[in-house]
Chain A
Amino acid sequence: MPEPLLSVQDVGVTYERRGLLGRLRAESPSWAVDGATLEVAGGEAVAIVGESGSGKSTIARAIVGLVPVDRGRVVLAGAVASTRRTREQRRLVQLIFQDPYSSLNPRMTVGDAISEAIRVNRMREGSAVAQRTRELLALVQLPSRFIDVHPRHMSGGQRQRASIARALATEPRLLVADEPVSALDVSVQAAILNLFADLRADLGLTLLVISHNLAVVRHVSERIIVMHRGRIVEAGETEAVVEHPRHDYTRTLIASVPSLMPRAPHPTSPATAPGGKA
Chain B
Amino acid sequence: MDDHDQPLLSVEHLAVSLTGGDVRLVDDVSFSLSRGEALGLVGESGSGKSLTLRALLGLLPKGTEVTSGHVRFDGTELVSARASELRRLRGRRIGMVFQDPMTALNPVMTVGDQIAEGRVTHLGESRRVARRYATALMGQVGIADPARRARAYPHEFSGGMRQRVVIAIALACEPALILCDEPTTALDVTIQRQILTILDELRGSRELAVLFVTHDLAVIAQICERVAVMYAGQIVESGPTAEVFASPRHGYTDGLLRSVPDLHLTRARLEAITGMPPGVADMPLGCRFHPRCPLADDACCLDRGYPLRAVGGGRRSACVHSERVGGHDPVVADA
Interface residues of A (CB under 8 A from B): 51-52, 155, 157, 185-191, 193-194, 197, 212-216, 218-219, 242, 252-263, 265-278
Complex contact B270–A193 (CB within 8 A) = yes
Contact B190 A269 (CB under 8 A): no
Q: Cβ of B221 and Cβ of A186 under 8 Å apart?
A: no
B272 touches A266 (CB 8 A): no
A237 CB to closest chain B CB, in angstroms? Answer: 13
Q: Which residues of A are found within 8 Å of B7, using beta-carbon distances?
A: 277
Tell me which residues across on chain B come within 8 A of A188, comparing CB atoms.
272, 276
Is B310 located at the chain interface by the 8 A CB criterion? yes
Contact A194/B269 with A187-B255, A262-B245, A278-B310 known, Cβ cut-off 8 Å: yes
Q: How far is the CA of A273 from the CA of B241 in the complex (A)?
A: 11
Query: Is B44 a contact partner of A185 (Cβ separation < 8 A)?
Result: yes
The closest CB in chain A to the CB of B270 belongs to A190
Q: Judge whether A190 and B314 touch: CB under 8 Å.
A: no
Once bound together, how far apart are the Cα atoms of A254 and B189, in whole Å? 9
Q: Is the CB of B221 within 8 A of A259?
A: yes
Is B207 among interface residues, defined by CB-CB distance under 8 A? yes
Q: Are A52 and B37 in contact (CB under 8 A)?
A: no
B265 & A259 in contact (Cβ 8 Å cutoff): yes
In the complex, the answer to whether B190 meets A253 with C-beta atoms within 8 Å is yes
Judge if B322 is at the interface, Cβ distance under 8 Å.
no
With A190-B272, A197-B269, A277-B7 given, is the CB distance from A260 to B38 under 8 Å? no
Measured CB to CB, the closest approach of chain A to B189, in angstroms, equals 4
Inter-chain contact A214/B259, CB cutoff 8 Å: no
Residues of B within 8 A of A (CB): 7, 31-32, 34-38, 44-45, 188-190, 192-193, 196, 200, 203-204, 207, 215-219, 221-223, 225-226, 238-243, 245, 255-257, 259-267, 269-273, 276-277, 308, 310, 312-316, 332, 334-335
CA distance A78 to B193 in the complex (A): 43
Task: Check A51–B190 contact: CB distance below 8 A.
Answer: yes
Q: Helix, strand, loop or mixed for chain A's interface?
A: loop
Bound state CA distance, A187 and B256, in angstroms?
6
- Asked if A51 meets B263 with Cβ closer than 8 Å, knowing A262-B221, A277-B32, the reply is no
Report yes or no: A258 in contact with B219, Cβ–Cβ below 8 A.
yes
Q: Which residue of A lies closest to B208 (CB)?
A: A268
* Known A-B contacts A215-B218, A271-B225; A260 and B203 likewise in contact (beta carbons under 8 Å): no
Q: Report the Cα distance A258→B269, complex, angstroms.
A: 20
B272 contact set on A, CB distance < 8 A: 187-188, 190-191, 194
Give the nearest-CB partner of B257 in chain A.
A260
Contacts of A257 in B (CB 8 A): 189, 218, 263
Q: Check if A218 sits within 8 Å of B261, measured CB to CB.
A: yes
Looking at the assembled complex, report how far the CB atom of A142 sits from the nearest CB atom of chain B, in whole angstroms: 13
Contact present for B241 and A262 (CB under 8 Å):
yes
Complex Cα–Cα for A220 and B276 (A): 23
A253–B335 CA distance with the chains assembled, in angstroms:
18
Contact of B204 among A191, A266, A273 (CB under 8 A): A266
Whose C-beta in chain A lies nearest to the C-beta of B243? A274
Q: Which of B223, B259, B316 is within 8 Å of A186, CB to CB?
A: B259
> With A197-B269, A278-B308 in contact, do A260 and B255 touch (Cβ < 8 Å)?
no
Tell me, in angstroms, the Cα distance from A211 to B269 when the chains sit together: 19
List the 7 shortest-distance A-B pairs measured between CB atoms, nearest first: A190-B270, A190-B259, A256-B193, A191-B272, A258-B218, A219-B261, A190-B272
Question: Cβ of B334: which chain A residues have Cβ within 8 Å of it?
Answer: 261
A187–B232 CA distance with the chains assembled, in angstroms: 13
Q: Cα distance A254–B241 when bound, in Å?
A: 22
Q: Of the candidates B240, B259, B264, which one forms a contact with A274 in the assembled complex, judged by CB atoms under 8 Å apart? A: B240
What are 26 A-B contacts defined by CB distance under 8 Å? A187-B259, A187-B272, A190-B259, A194-B270, A212-B189, A218-B263, A219-B261, A256-B192, A258-B218, A258-B221, A258-B222, A259-B222, A259-B262, A259-B263, A260-B217, A260-B262, A261-B264, A261-B334, A263-B221, A266-B200, A268-B207, A270-B34, A271-B240, A276-B240, A278-B238, A278-B308
